[in-house]
A = this chain, B = another copy of it.
Amino acid sequence: MKTRIYNARILTMENEKEIFQGEIWIDDERISYVGKNIDILNQHFDKEIDAEGNLLMPSFKNAHTHSAMTFGRNYSDTLKGGEWLTNVIFPMEAKMTQEHVYELSKIAFLEYIVNGITACFDMYYEPQSMSRLSEEYGFRTVLCGAINNFRETPETIENAFLHYNQLHKYISYRLGIHAEYTTSLELLEKMAEMVHKYKQPFYTHVSETEQEVKDCIDRYGKTPTQLFDSLGLFDFGGGAFHGVHLTDSDISIYKKRGLSIITNPGSNLKLASGVARISEFTENGINVGIGTDGPASNNGLDMFKEMYLVSTLQKLINKDASACPAKQVVRMATRGSAIAMGLIDCDILAVGKYADMIMIDLKKPNMQPINILENALVYSANPTNILMTMIGGDIKYYKGEIYINEDIEDLYGRAEEIVKKLA
């Protein structure tokens, strides 16, 4: 299957390359040509798509989420952060089955696809459900271990790591724990052994709230980042989710170890956690990815909203309208997230890479008149501008139609029934 998309503006995200007019060819799953002028007389294409001047760019990668948590979306948003988690979410989660995780995650995956997101870094339980869904939908999922004192064991994590990294092309598995405040020192030490045994990067929630940092210092005399680093958990890379309340010393650890920080500004606002110091991360050369966090704490899975927040919240806290420019933020949502997730084969539009890309509709009024396109992506765009979503050469969404084998209205009914059961 050979596809040609022509008459496009193209943002490859390869280094500092400017947007240009051109075309992209896809041979089966991968990009075979990206460029301006080429002799197409001797080429045969199975499919040709006129982009009509719209923008092709690498798809968004959601570098931190809990997809199955659609059940808790808009379910209870009038409580304080702690009460909400303890009194509403945890009791519902305790009743969830594999089938529930599978069905509830479908809604999130559909939302990702219509919003131009083609991969997620998902921290949840029941990896078999997520793996099944990823394969069925043809959607890339990087599973993240979520061991803690209440769920999972080092053995389940090790087995999952060995099993899911060689199961199918849409799925991979990264070692991780839920968070310092839910995980004993004994478990952390066992995870450090595993990290060293397999020479693997390590991921976890870090310094999401002020209280979390304070409690960790009380327990260990160290911040969460300092603790993880002292245990050797970051010896082979990895990264932190949230990182809202990182100290200067923490930031120097991320820099020194070449780690990623995955920022979740929508969730951090909504749960009143704070604003991460993104400008200082980028000034220190730290790779930054962007995540939506789960649908129960955001409550949308919309990378445009996150990009707007990443940039404008830095302007706010730095009291500088020029802080955190759009080009930086577009990189975070695409290449930055892909790097954080280990998805190095679908990070940019270049020959040999997977064709994981989106077409942005520039003909909606919100993108007009066309001025600087990276600015438009961060400050003006919204999900109405997703014209096409492609994963590994497969069109999953185009001009309002979802190309996934699912009876969507029926799925909504099933999800509603599940929420009733969990309540």
Task: Show the binding face of A for B, using Cβ within 8 Å.
Answer: 70-71, 73-81, 84, 107-108, 110-111, 114-115, 266, 269-272, 274-275, 295, 298-302, 304-305, 308, 311-313, 315-316, 318-323, 325-326, 363-366, 368-373, 375-376, 379-384, 400, 408-409, 412, 415-416, 418-419
Contacts and interface: CB of A to CB of B under 8 A. Distances in A.
Nearest to A315: B272
Given A321-B80, A382-B300, A382-B302, A70 B368 contact: yes
20 contacts: A73-B369, A74-B379, A77-B326, A77-B372, A77-B375, A78-B325, A84-B321, A107-B368, A115-B366, A270-B321, A270-B379, A272-B320, A298-B380, A300-B380, A302-B366, A304-B382, A365-B408, A369-B419, A371-B419, A383-B384
B271 A321 contact: yes
A369 B107 contact: yes
B320 A380 contact: no
Nearest to A265: B312
Contacts of A70: 368-369
Counting every copy of the chain, the complex holds: 2
B379 A77 contact: yes
Contacts of A71: 369
Contacts of A418: 369
Contacts of A365: 107-108, 110-111, 114, 408
A167 to B, nearest CB: 26
Nearest to A362: B412
A375 B77 CA distance: 7
B412 A368 contact: yes
A412 B272 contact: no
A294 to B, nearest CB: 12
Nearest to A104: B369
A112 B308 CA distance: 19
Nearest to A419: B369
Given A270-B315, A383-B383, A321 B81 contact: yes
Given A73-B376, A295-B380, 6 more contacts: A74-B380, A77-B375, A271-B315, A272-B320, A305-B305, A369-B412
